[in-house]
Amino acid sequence: MSLSPLTIGRHSLANNLALAPMAGITERAFRRLCRRWGAGLTVSEMIPSRSMLAGDGEALARADHADEPAPVAVQIAGGEPGLLAEAARWNAARGADLIDINLGCPSKTVCKQAAGSALMRDEALVRRILEAVLAVVDVPVTLKMRTGWDRSHKNAPAIARMAEDLGVAALAVHGRTRADKYKGEAEYETIARVRAAVGLPLWANGDVREPADAARVLGETGADGIMIGRGAQGRPWLFARIERYLAEGRDGGDPPLAVQGGTVLEHLDGIEGLHGGARGARLARKHLAAYAGGLPAGAAAAFRTRVNGAGTVAEQRTAVREFFLQQQWDAA
């Protein structure tokens, strides 16, 4: 197991731990929290290229990385080389330090548009996309993909070799096929085959939920780093735990509830700043449900009920103080 700096193109990262892009989850407020808790890199939510270039408000909001610490990584998605190239150029011109291309999203809606992990069925199209994007930006381009379209077609090593030959700067591989979606357990044998096939910096992704998982996956795959997705939802401090475990061989566990509560309040402040009190409360519910995992079972259920019924972020903030900071459920 190893904690080490990682270099992507001209950017030196503090360590080899990254937050995976997750639609609806890795908005700017959460990305900033994860960086503060030790992630060496965070990646934006997937931004549909066509929607962004058409001026869609939600897509443009996803591309907003004001006040984020560098390097800023923006993930773009789509199936048309010209549109992806234009989206990459648009984001690079507005301060993106890294452009990540999505070959991993298993969503039916995305795959119907021949985007996301559907691209893994068409290596020739992947080549045209990479060539188009690399031709128009001078920032490093990275690629996130799955192991293949289905278990009979695990072509991640072939796409990785193509990407390296064309000049892609780094890769992240999720240990499932598109057909697997998020079912079953991630497998790391294919990621190890990618490691053997290329010399690019490589993040292994999938089912890393505890520090010992990170150490095991690094050992099994030979990857340079770990990219964490769902395991960090509601637990941005997981990066600090992994960082300590890889550096010292010790896991101090999750922080005290009061510290967790302070982090949740910081997250709510960020969400309210981006979306306002009413819309922010609706968008915060999924985050708060995940944070509830740190509470005892009975308190967690009561907390979820309370925050889901709240109409404003201010009401949710009060619930966080009562459950995490004051721990009023102890006296109940």
At residue 133's C-alpha, the angle toward residues 130 and 137, to 5°, is 135
Residue 165: CB partners within 8 Å, gap ≥ 6? none
Q: What are phi and psi of 202, to 5 degrees?
A: -135, 125
Alpha carbons within 13 angstroms on the beta-carbon side of residue 145 total 28
Kindly state the tokens that stand for 261: 């509560």
Please count the other Cβ atoms lying within 10 Å of the Cβ belonging to residue 252. Answer: 12
Kindly state the tokens that stand for 288: 């708060």
Residue ranges of E strands in the chain = 6-8, 11-13, 17-19, 41-42, 47-48, 73-77, 98-103, 141-146, 170-174, 202-205, 225-228
Task: Respond yes or no: is residue 34 known to be catalytic.
Answer: no
Please count the other Cβ atoms lying within 10 Å of the Cβ belonging to residue 14. Answer: 15
The DSSP code sequence of 146-167 is ES-SBTTB--HHHHHHHHHHHT
Of 253, 315, 287, 222, the closest CA to residue 2 belongs to 222
Question: What residue has token string 């995940």?
Answer: 290
- Catalytic residue of the set 63, 74, 96, 105: 105
Q: Could you tell me if 55 and 77 are in contact, meaning their C-beta atoms sit under 8 angstroms apart?
A: no
Residue positions annotated with a catalytic role: 105
